[in-house]
Every structure is written in structure tokens, then in C-alpha cells.
Structure 1
Amino acid sequence: MGLLGASGAIVGTVAGLGEFLGYGMRLISGKITDKTKIYWPITFMGYASNLIVVPLLALAHRWEIAALLIILERVGKGIRTPARDAMLSYATKEIGRGWGFGIHQAMDRLGALVGPLIVFCLLGSTNNLRISFVVLGIPAVFALAALGFAKKVNPYPQAAEEQKVTFSAEGFSKAFWIFIAGAGFLAAGFVDFALIAFHFQKKAVLPPAWIPLFYTFAMGAAALFSLAGGKLFDFFSKPVVLTALVLGMLSVPCVFMGGFSTVLIGMILWGIGLGMQGSVLRSIVAHLAAPEKRSVAYGTFGVVFGLCWFIGSALTGWLYDHSIALMVAISLFLQLCSIPFFLNLKMEKSS
């Protein structure tokens, strides 16, 4: 959006709003999924939106249009995520949820790694960002085809884990809400890549064509941590969470206050933090929520995480326009606030 004239505050606000609406949609989608058990149709609907929205970014000539499409893409992700994560939680019970979610997150990040590489190559040869967005619609078609095959193989994913016949009237456990509070502070302090890319462009930290390449490095780090961290989480849950949290925090000063080499290190650390969110945090939800409440639990987690992400993104975007040093300090403070909650978290498996 920066190329279309948006300011740092606008970039941060749009990124945060997109995440908030996307995560908010997860609660609605989660409730519908738990009630109807139509896991596959809801998942299909969410993935299909990407197939439509991403290529349309190539037609955006105003930052307002680009912002709307970015938000719609996030909403589509919000629709599919609770159903998808619930299916993953059922399927990974036997192999270990950290490992199972880690594999999924690694595959997701590998896809996110290939995408920027394609953009990098296309920008180098055509210098046209719009062509890149059109080409990125092709993998979405293959994703839908793979999803259709998975449905044929396993049409009733909930059968993998025994569930109660009726819903409990009780809410979630105290441990679940402690986790939610910690995740909220983490989300508020974690800087969105939209603002990072805006910083790279505005301050000429990197040539424009190198920005997707550095994002690729971050996705590679996220994929590797998702596998290693997810596997280790099944044996050493709390140390893995805290280590990833601290490494992710260190990315902020590296990315916004460093030179070329320091920025590269910062993006790798940022990727580790992102990988932790996608694998370890989702595994914790599965441990703390009973099977019959799993989709709603993911939706609740999504709403709080998204709201805090939105507030944090808007705040960091506004602070960036006034003082980068203050923005870095506030980001670090918010993430530090999450540590006591994770330290006090007691992991209890639900069944």
C-alpha cells in the first residue's frame, strides 16, 4: 500500500483491522462449525476466497482498494481457520499436537516462502508487481484440489477423537484464560510485516526487489522452527514457548534500528516468533479445550488475538510516524507483559 500512497499509520491500521476482522470471524465460524460439524464446506469456503481476492490485488490502483482486498483476504482466512484447526487437533492427538501443528505450519510457511521467491523473480524480470499477484492465484487452485482429495480420504475428521454427545454448559478453564491473556499481550506487541515492509521502503533499508526475499528468509525460519519447536513442545512445553517468545522480541530492534546484516538477523528472529504463533500457540489451545468445544476455543483465541493485534498494529503504526525508537520500546514492553502469563500456565490435556 505504501507504493499507492498510504502512510505508516494507514498501513499499520489496515493490517491490524484485517487481522482483527479475520480473527473475529473465527469466533462466528467456530460456533457454526461446532454446532453443524460441517468442517469441510466451511474450510472450502475460506480457501476459495483467496482464489478470488489475491489476483484482484493486481487491479488495485488506489490504496483504499488494496486495503479492502487485504481485509477480505484476512476474513476468508478467518472463515476457514477454526474448522481446519479443529480437524488438525483431532488428527494429531496420537502423534503429538506440537509435532502435528508444526508440520502444518512448516508446510504453510514453505508455501509463504515460495510465494515471495516468485514475486522476487518476477519483479527482477518484469518490474511489475501486478503480474506477481495474478501468478499467485495459481497455487490457490492447487490448494483447493488438494483439499478436495483430503475430504475424500477423511470425510468425517471428528471421528479421530472421541467427543461427548452434548455440549457442556461450563466455560473454559482458568488455564485457558491465562493463556488467552498472555497471547493477547504477545499479539499486541508483535509487529506486522506490512509495517516492516513499509519501513524497508521508506527508509531505503533494502531495494524494493529484496523485500520479498527477506520475507522469504523469515518464512524459512518460521518453517524450521515450526518443525523443531513443535516437536520439542510435546516434551518441553514451557521452555520452548519462552525461548521463541524472547527470540521473537529481539527481532523488533534488529529490524527497525539495524543495518543490512542486522535486519537479516531480525527477519529470521521475526520468522521464529511467527512460527511459534502458528504451531505452538495452536497446540496449546488443543490441550486446554475439550474436543466438543475445540472450534469455539480456536474462535475465542482468534477474537482476542485479533483484537489485540489490531490495537497493537494501529498503535505501532502511529508511533512509527512519530518516533521509531518509542515504537520499538512499546512493542518490547507489550511482549514482555506476556511472559508472566506463560510462566504461570499449567498445561493440562483435555480429552
Structure 2
Amino acid sequence: MLTSNRQRALRLIVLFGMVSLMADVTYEGARSILGPYLALLGASGAIVGMISGIGELISYGLRPLYGYLTDRLRRPWLLTIPGYAMSVLAVPLLALARAWPVAAALTLIERLGKAVRTPARDTMLSYAASEIGPGKGFGLHEALDQIGAVGGPLVMALILQLSGRYDLAFGILLIPALLTLGILIAARLLYPTPQHLEASPADPGKAPPKGTADPRFRQYLVFVALSVAGLVPFQLLSFHLKQVRIVADPVIPALFAAAMLVDAAAGLLFGALYDRFGLRVLVTIPAFSAVAAPLVFSGYPPLLLIGVMLWGAVIGGQETIMRAAIPSLVVREERGTAYGLFNGVYGLAWFLGSAAMGALYDLSLGGVIAFAIGMELIALSVFLRMPR
């Protein structure tokens, strides 16, 4: 049986999972139709690309700042609730936009909200996850999160199929937005001081956690950066599949949805393995990514499917055990800063890796595969030299 504190920790993780589920229905649903909506409002392709790029820069680039503020303020709810409110309330307001600059501003507000809340939320999750196992805790959260990430675009597709109205589609997202805030406020009332759920340092292991300036944490960030930069972005893969036409167009989003389902399942599996075997499980992330690269570009549908499933498993590992590892590396007093740095490095590496592979794709498909495998092999070497 679960102890009282473990039960409370599990409930908080489930509450955060439900918050993420509803929030993902809201903004992932919106993001799935934002491009054509901006086009209807008169935006050019260059403007759409610029909005997307600036949005991700805001979302990831500001997370180190808000991670630092999480540690300084010692009140993670003070950032988590406003961050979620900014994100989920900006989305249904898109229904009222009559010009692309208004829609662009709301989109950037949504991305800013994600930057504000993510380090503080992950810090609170780490407190609760320490009671049931960091891997299991983050794995459960990721599984619930991915249900929303898959469900949101499906809801938008259904509404557009039935009505053809973008304003109605965005307006309906007010329902999951309000549910997000309702569950979040309930969690705040039930758990005003979630740090008390962590009675002792999480997963002390052979080497005790230290500060963010510790070389072991810095080496971990290098490993994260290399591993993330070497993962083929699905946008590039979907572009490639459209160009070579080895599968029909409707199959491409179906492959992505399947990868997200694998993501959810893999997160749970990786989480359980992490709690049993510790940091060594992280070696599977660059290994799977290196194998996935040649498979997804093989031109052979069965190998493509295997590669996409491995790609989804890598995303599941990145979203769970890469986050779950941080409490074993960094002391609680600097955990917000650590999550902010982790997210900032993750976003920068994703951008640089995607840009490099996009440029290489125009020159040589083999160059893309070589780059991806090379980055993952270097990531493996960095990880294997990291002190345990």
C-alpha cells in the first residue's frame, strides 16, 4: 500500500498531468490549425515562419530566467498559475482576431506563458516524483500530457470538418482552457507547499546532488544538447515524405499521431527503468535516435514505420528521464535554475540541430543521416565519461 505521503504525491502528479492534458488540448489544438488561420488573416509564409521562430525563441530562451526566479522567490505557484493563465486564455481569444498581427501577438503571449510556468512546474513535479520514483512520476505526467497533445488536433480536425469555421474551433478551446485553470487552482489549494512532499534528497546515488555550477551537471547539459541536436525533426521528415511520395499525404499526420502514442508509452517504460537502474538508462536515448535516422530516410515503408516508432520513443525519453535525472544532479535549492537551464539548452539545441539538418538536406540526404548519427555518437561518448 502507498503511504499517506506517497498517496499525496501521486495525487499531485495526476493533477499536474490533468492540467497538462487540458492545456495541451488547448494550445496543441490551436497550433495544429494556426498556420492556415494566419494565412486566412493575410499573413505570408515568411511571416508565419517568423512568428513560429520568435515564439519558440521566447518559449525556450526565457526559461533559464524564470527557473532562476523560481529559486529566488521560493514560491513556484506564483509563476505556475500566471504562466498557465497566459497560455490557455490567449488561445480562445484567437477566435476574435481579425488581422494577423493580433493573432501573432496572442500566439507569442501563449509561448511566453509556457516559458514562465515550465521551470516552476517541473520543480514542483520533482518534489512529488521523489516519493514514487522520479522516472515513474515524470513518466506518468508525460503520458497524460500526450493524451492532450494527440486529442487537441483531433478535436480541431473534427470541428473544422463539421463547420469549416476557424473562429468556432478556437472559441471552443475556451472549455479546456477553463478546465485547465480549475484543476490548477484545485491543486494549489490542496498543495500550497509541494516542497514538503520531498522529505529527503531525491535519488542521492553514488554522487550526491550539487549546485548548477558543478561540472557533472554542466557535462549533463552538454550530453542533452548533443543528443537533442541529433534527433531528426519531424517537420523535416514530413517534408521529405511529401517530396519523395513513398506514403500518401494522410499517412504523414497518422505517423506523427502514432509516434506520440509511442511517446506516452515509452515515457512510462523509461521512467520505470530509470527508477530501477538510474542514470545509465539515459544511454538508450542517443542509441535509439542514431538508429532511427537511417530508418526514417530509408525509402522503405516498413523501415520508415520502425524509425518513426523509435523517434517517438526518443521523445518519450527526452520528456521523462532527461527531466527526472535533474534532482539526482542538482540540490533542491537550485532545482528551478537547473530546470530553466535544461529547457533553455534543449530549445537551443533543437533549433541549431534542426537548422543544420535542414541546410544539409538541400545538399545531401546522406549528410543529414551522417550528422544525426555523429551527434548521437558524440553524445554517447560524453555520457559515458560523465561521473556517476
Matched, 1:327 2:368: yes
One of 255, 266, 271 as aligned partner of 1:214: 255
Q: What one-letter code is carried by the residue in structure 2 that aligns with 1:115?
A: G
Alignment match, 1:48: 85
Q: Does the 8 Å contact 2:211/2:334 carry over to 1?
A: no
Distance 1:125 1:100, change over 3 A: same
Q: Which has the larger displacement, 319-328 or 279-288?
A: 319-328
Displacement of 1:343 after TM fit?
1.7
Q: Does the 8 Å contact 1:116/1:215 carry over to 2?
A: no
Matched, 1:155 2:196: no
Distance 1:198 1:149, change over 3 A: farther
Q: Does the 8 Å contact 1:253/1:328 carry over to 2?
A: yes
Q: Does the 8 Å contact 2:227/2:285 carry over to 1?
A: no
State how 1:32-47 maps to structure 2 within 5 Å.
32-47=69-84
Q: What one-letter code is carried by the residue in structure 1 that aligns with 2:286?
A: L
Q: What one-letter code is carried by the residue in structure 2 that aligns with 1:146?
A: I
Alignment match, 1:31: 68
Matched, 1:309 2:346: no
Distance 1:116 1:269, change over 3 A: farther
Displacement of 1:320 after TM fit?
2.8
Q: What one-letter code is carried by the residue in structure 1 that aligns with 2:317?
A: M
Distance 1:18 1:321, change over 3 A: farther
Displacement of 1:268 after TM fit?
1.7
TM-score, normalization by structure 2: 0.75
Matched, 1:244 2:281: no
Distance 1:71 1:193, change over 3 A: farther
Q: What one-letter code is carried by the residue in structure 2 that aligns with 1:302?
A: N
Q: What one-letter code is carried by the residue in structure 2 that aligns with 1:117?
A: L
State how 1:1-351 maps to structure 2 within 5 Å.
6=45, 18-55=55-92, 72-122=109-159, 135-136=172-173, 138-161=175-198, 171-204=212-245, 206-347=247-388
Displacement of 1:52 after TM fit?
3.8
Q: Does the 8 Å contact 2:212/2:337 carry over to 1?
A: no
Query: Matches of 1:270 and 1:59 in 2, distance apart?
Result: 37
Displacement of 1:21 after TM fit?
3.2
Displacement of 1:145 after TM fit?
1.4
Query: Matches of 1:66 and 1:205 in 2, distance apart?
Result: 35
Classify the secondary structure of the residue corresponding to 1:93: helix
Which one has more relative contact order, counting CA pairs under 8 Å at least 6 apart?
Answer: 1
Q: Does the 8 Å contact 1:241/1:280 carry over to 2?
A: yes
Query: Matches of 1:256 and 1:134 in 2, distance apart?
Result: 39
Distance 1:66 1:213, change over 3 A: farther
Displacement of 1:335 after TM fit?
2.2
Q: Does the 8 Å contact 2:71/2:335 carry over to 1?
A: yes
Displacement of 1:132 after TM fit?
5.2
Q: What one-letter code is carried by the residue in structure 1 that aligns with 2:322?
A: L
Q: Give the gaps of 5 or more residues in structure 2.
A: 1-33, 202-209
Distance 1:324 1:124, change over 3 A: farther
Query: Matches of 1:66 and 1:266 in 2, distance apart?
Result: 36
Number of equivalences: 340
Q: Does the 8 Å contact 1:15/1:313 carry over to 2?
A: no
Distance 1:18 1:313, change over 3 A: farther
Q: Which has the larger displacement, 252-261 or 24-33?
A: 252-261
Q: Does the 8 Å contact 2:92/2:174 carry over to 1?
A: yes
Query: Matches of 2:84 and 2:169 in 1, distance apart?
Result: 19
Classify the secondary structure of the residue corresponding to 1:236: helix
Residue deviations 1:165-189 (CA, integer Å, cap 9, x gap): xxxx965322111111100111212
Distance 1:149 1:244, change over 3 A: same
TM-score, normalization by structure 1: 0.83
Q: Does the 8 Å contact 1:18/1:70 carry over to 2?
A: yes
For the pair shown, which has the larger CA radius of gyration, 1 or 2?
Answer: 2
Query: Matches of 2:51 and 2:178 in 1, distance apart?
Result: 27
Q: Which has the larger displacement, 107-116 or 194-203?
A: 194-203
Query: Matches of 1:38 and 1:126 in 2, distance apart?
Result: 44
Displacement of 1:134 after TM fit?
5.1
